[in-house]
Structure 1
Amino acid sequence: MPRKNIFEILKNNFDIPREMNKLVGLFSLQIIFYTETSMYYQSDTHRITIEMLCDTVILPKWKQRGNYLSHEEIKRVIPFPENFTSQTSLDTIVSCLEYYCNLLYLLLKKFDLTHQNKYKYDAKMIKIIYENINNLLDHLHYEKKINEEEETVILIPKNPAATAVAEITENKDIAFAILKYNHASLKGDLEGKKQLLLSIANEYEPLLKSPIDGFTDYFKKATFLLNNLNLRHNNKSGQDKKQLVVDMPNKELEKWYDELYQLLLFCVLIKDNVKRKKEIDDLVKKIN
């Protein structure tokens, strides 16, 4: 196996909770400063954080402020954890990231920091914050939707099915594997996608062996593809060789890996919705 260069190592070492903690640190930096002149004509320079500026200048004018008086009050309601860990839920991570996206939007768009004569800022750090947020969104497979009229930024999943399955998956590693599969860095990486597919399939092996009535064919097809697309078995040589797979270009094989990924998600969602339907049926019976 060829040695990975340092850039491949760094790219594969992306840790979402760690990156969230780094973002917390970036937003705590005093990167905005302004000068005030006292009645004795002495100039004092003050350095503040993005959140501090929002509290004093931006938040009072924000359409979505409601009755909130400070960023700390908003963070308590979210709620914002003291530290992000592997146990932090995806919902919490996305909510906190959405909070930061709104702060940055208010700072750069509504407040228009770049055209405020009174305030100076560290443009390099603002750029780093912006890029780090976008990288996190990329790894989570979320995208920003901005409503200028309402002055809001909301985050929505690029792949709703993947997010839905990740949210109901108890195993955090598998949840992140589900989200990671669609990441741009994996395009063309058959081995990377293969390993993720196998980990997802192994997690849901009991489900595949016990298909849901009315959907048996989907579960059987998923199992068949796992066994015949050079995933669980060597289908390019030996006793499990499949000539079609041998002759298949990598680009086409990757396409079928992607289809299998969607099929696995579908099978998991079928189970979840059957459970939900049963609960609704029980409620209907009680009401009647």
Structure 2
Amino acid sequence: MNIRLQLFELEDQRWFPHVIRQGMLDFLRFMITKLEAYEAALPLLQELLERTQQYQITDLCSGAGGGIAKVREDLSKRVGTPVQVTLTDLYPNLEAYQYLQAKSKGMIDYLPVSVDATAAPDSLKGVRTIFSSFHHFPPRTAQAILQDTADKRAAIGIFEGSSKSWLELLMLWLSFPVVIILVTPFIRPFKPSRLFFTYLIPLIPIGIIWDGSVSLLRIYPPRMLQQMAENVKAPNYTWRAGKAGSRFGKHVIYLIGYPEKGTS
């Protein structure tokens, strides 16, 4: 699937109910964590941390923090030192962030205020990451995120947990309705609203299927990511885009960028 369609996702809409948005994001966090969907991203993240000698991650567009706890744990083992993560988002999911902070014993923290990924505060340090969110941005905004990163001489890893295939789209339509019904009672932190809007008024499942389908169509293929990176105005900066992973459900599309040594 080497195309990209700029369709709309419900969770991006300002009018979309916050309780439904957070229910959808909580489900994605649960599934990404259980499936270890970003396993193939770990060597790339390790490369960024070791190149920059920064063992701190600023996660942009964190949503509900999907999979970040497992990524942080595995990455810490790979680099041999504890990795600290700060979660940020335009619409911070404070309940989820507090849950992750407590579970990680403070190794995951968060900013409780809105953070725009096109103009991240100078106070945010470390390697920037964006998981499963870059496709939300139209090309001009996506380009601005990359330019802001390069302007501040930060390293960044952008990862989409997908190989962007028609088979993935078919599996989403056939399997997710059943999966949502089965796993919802086990998602933490527990919220009665999640049960209500899954089983009684199924707005969360409808939103997940719609947004999941649109997300696959909106993901930038590696070719487009590389072209976008080449348009960033930044001297002595390296970009690389591609696909990683060899098992179904374990693929990632990625773009990594970092300032060359001695130029940060």
Between Structure 1 and Structure 2, whose CA radius of gyration is higher?
1
User: Normalising TM by the smaller chain, what interval?
Assistant: under 0.3
Higher fraction of helix: 1
- Higher relative contact order (Cα pairs below 8 Å, separated by 6+ residues): 2
Higher fraction of strand: 2
